[in-house]
Chain A
Amino acid sequence: VVFQKVLSLLEEEFPDVCRIVTAVYPSAEDDVITSPYNTVLAMQELTEHADCVLPVENQSLLDILNKIDAMSYGTKLGPGVKRNNCVTSGGSRLSGAQKPFDAMNNIVANLLLNITSSTRFEGSLNMDLNEIAMNLVPFPRLHYLVPSLTPLYSLADVSIPTKRLDQMFSDAFSKDHQLIRANLKHSLFLASALMVRGDVHMSDLRRNIERLRSSLPFVSWNQEGWKTGLCSVPPVGHSHSMLALSNNTCVKATFMELRDSFTKLYKKKAHLHHYLHVDGMEQSIFSEALSSLTGLIEDYHHLDVSKSRLQRDTPRLRIATGSSS
């Protein structure tokens, strides 16, 4: 709630400065019972006052950590997978009931490092924070961008042959690398940004976009909706890496689940009195937040149904042509 106030303050004081929010969404089995309330209330602020939101789900972070564990300790040991990889350098990990928050936070920290890499290092095609908002937000409220990071483990072999590089691009659009549980490929892309770091040539980037395009459905008016950035300096311990940020209607599913959890509690007015005791909180705030979320879901849905419609070029302006001499 404090954060929400800070967000509005930032907007008031610095209206021209881009506000990109990394927001952690609760998993289904969250410890906090009232987390659906908190989340939906926060979402209204995010929808109204943030320029971009990068939703991150705890469950996805856990899944990623488990995948890294499996690669390091067990079955599919890759040719040079290091035990101490950079993603999870924050302390030891326990299985079972305790959540490895350090390691999970580390992943989110890496996300932020990748987003700001072009601002901090040089590259042949810079991409800064303002450009992310500009290119990925076609309509003001639809600014929820699905992040996915690759690679998630470090490779001992630094001179990675081209095949591995292409694998990085494919991985970026696989469910295992996304930071929320949603399926990009089965929903509609409004826009996507690829922030590539390290020894990657522009032609590699273009080749891979060509390769992936056919399997990724884009909205009709943005068939080439790719924003690209090339930063020369890779993250520590890797020769190259990539962050993909996708504006994709798959977030609709996440929001619908959230709305359902909210409604389950709200219908019974469960725990509502805790909130209403606080000065300034009224029930209308809840209903407004719910209707903001519902509106958002509808907006995404509206775009989703356009997916199957065949779009032709819009008729062009006609110019009166003078008679030829």
Chain B
Amino acid sequence: MSVVTIQLGQCGNQVGQELFDIICNDAEQSQRKTYSTSCSARFFRPTSKGDLVARAVLVDMEPKVINQSMNKAVKSGRWRYGEDSHFSQKQGSGNNWANGYCVLGPRHKDAVEELVRQEVERCDALAGFIPVMSVAGGTGSGVGTYVTQCLRDIYPTSFILNHLTWPYGTGEVIVQNYNSVLTLAHLYQLSDAMLVHENDTVHKICSQLLNIKQISFSDINMVIAHQLGGVLQPALTPDSYGVYSRNPLGELVSALACHPEYKLLSVSTVPQMPSSSIAFSTFSWPALLKHLRQMLISNTRMEVERTRSLTQGGFNTSLANLLILRGKDVYSAETGGFEDPAIYTPWLRSEEAFSLWKSPVSFDKYEKFATLVSNSQALLRPLDDMVRKAWNMFASRAYIHQYIKYNISEEDFLDSFTSLEQVISSYGQLQC
């Protein structure tokens, strides 16, 4: 079954391009034919010339980033985007969610829907959609939310898993917290689940684990794409009876997002180290899994730092966890630590809360690689910070005229704040 990816805005188009690159690379490097075939079918379509074309639609309100991404793909020599699979304008969204959602989205609805429809028709079977976007700017957030809404309307039974990049806590865009609040509140009604990467967390991975001295967005995007690859590449699931899952998004959503109040998913992967060190390191599943479990419960998404949370004592309670093991000796890996009831909310049995997928094929250069997708309190603190800052700004009504200009009212803001306070409250009470 095939996944259609929709890349929205600068971030979405940059991250998306890195993701397809990693997936294609992984598929080619793998020695196993069934894995490669499954992977190619899922994310690419073959053409009459035999080259791989990504099952993707690229959307942006200005042309430069799409052009860059398409050129980079062609330069890789291994895959490319469809020549006509993109839509762009010349003016940008001005970092204004209201402009993206109320004006530009509707204005270009037909064109974008047509591109999506063409991609869907080229799939033998549709596994679902992954819109890739940031929440801080105007196009990814505003147009992205609108496009997600269109997808939900036109394909009501398809799975929609939004990949969201949350901005650095301190300023990339001044109105980022408004844009984020509006996006998250709306997506909560439209999306099956949201897989979130925060720039702050990924930045720390780059500096503290990968030892990158001067970090650029390209480094950030590669880490995000790498972690996403760990999630999305083919795996054997309990439901798939010895073949690679044909319903990856559906299985992911049902494993993790069983309750409409809880849709925020975070990702952690081990090992995480400079690629130059990998060849010299040996990994054991017990050590890797112990690390990963420790990262989970102490509310950190990387192996070094502890951060405080909004819950008691810094213990991160989970609603559900999905562990994906890739590489050597996966069948003998002992995962009991993730079935411990102590790490889960008391109103779910740990057998229901924990899911395990495996792939005997190694991912990237790693002999053993583990990905943990969590529905837990890990994102509670960053979400609360976002809402708090947006609320303080809203109290002075700063910048609100910019949104009202494009038909988002103070009422709309209040509704979004209310929805997110509900989400914060729900996650805050997971340990009860």
Contacts and interface: CB of A to CB of B under 8 A. Distances in A.
Nearest to B423: A319
B20 to A, nearest CB: 18
A272 interface: no
Interface in B181-199: none
A25 to B, nearest CB: 26
Contacts of B418: 317, 319
Given A124-B218, A224-B389, A321 B429 contact: yes
A203 B94 contact: no
Name, among B10, B170, B174, the residue most crowded by chain A CB atoms within 10 Å (CB to CB): B174
Interface in B375-432: 387-389, 391-393, 395-396, 398-399, 401-402, 414, 417-418, 421-422, 425, 429, 432
- Tier of interface size on chain B: 35 or more
Nearest to B402: A134
A209 B170 contact: yes
Nearest to B428: A321
A24 B138 CA distance: 32
A222 interface: yes
B94 A130 contact: yes
B169 A221 contact: no
A122 B169 CA distance: 25
A139 B160 CA distance: 37
B90 to A, nearest CB: 9
A130 B96 contact: yes
A221 B396 contact: yes
Interface string A123-136: 01110101101111
B64 A122 contact: yes
Contact of A125 (B10, B92, B93, B96): B10
A31 B57 CA distance: 59
B214 A128 contact: no
A251 B173 CA distance: 23
A134 B95 contact: yes
B201 to A, nearest CB: 14
B315 interface: no
A226 B174 contact: yes
A325 B94 CA distance: 46
B171 A227 contact: yes
A224 B389 CA distance: 9
A138 interface: yes
A210 to B, nearest CB: 7
A324 interface: yes
B395 A314 contact: yes
A191 interface: yes
A203 to B, nearest CB: 4
Given A136-B174, A222-B398, A227-B174, A126 B10 contact: yes
- Tier of interface size on chain A: 35 or more
B62 A138 contact: no
Contacts of B275: none
A164 B315 CA distance: 44
Given A126-B10, A201-B216, A222-B174, A316 B95 contact: no
Interface in A131-189: 131, 133-140
Given A130-B96, A221-B395, A224-B169, A139 B425 contact: no
Contacts of B392: 220-221, 311, 313-314
Given A126-B65, A202-B215, A227-B173, A135 B347 contact: no
A204 B62 CA distance: 26
B285 interface: no
B425 A225 contact: no
B393 A209 contact: no
Given A18-B94, A130-B94, A321-B425, A206 B168 contact: yes
Given A18-B94, A221-B395, A124 B388 contact: no
A228 interface: yes
A125 B172 contact: yes
A146 B203 CA distance: 31
Interface in A73-90: none
B84 to A, nearest CB: 22
Interface of A: 18, 122, 124-126, 128, 130-131, 133-140, 191, 201-204, 206, 209-210, 220-222, 224-228, 230, 311, 313-314, 316-319, 321, 324-325
Given A131-B92, A324-B429, 5 more contacts: A135-B174, A135-B175, A210-B170, A222-B393, A318-B421
- The 6 closest A-B CB pairs, nearest first, are A130-B94, A226-B171, A138-B398, A203-B215, A314-B395, A201-B214
22 contacts: A124-B217, A125-B172, A126-B10, A126-B92, A128-B92, A128-B94, A130-B92, A131-B92, A131-B173, A135-B173, A138-B398, A138-B399, A202-B217, A222-B174, A227-B95, A227-B172, A227-B173, A227-B174, A313-B391, A316-B387, A317-B421, A318-B421
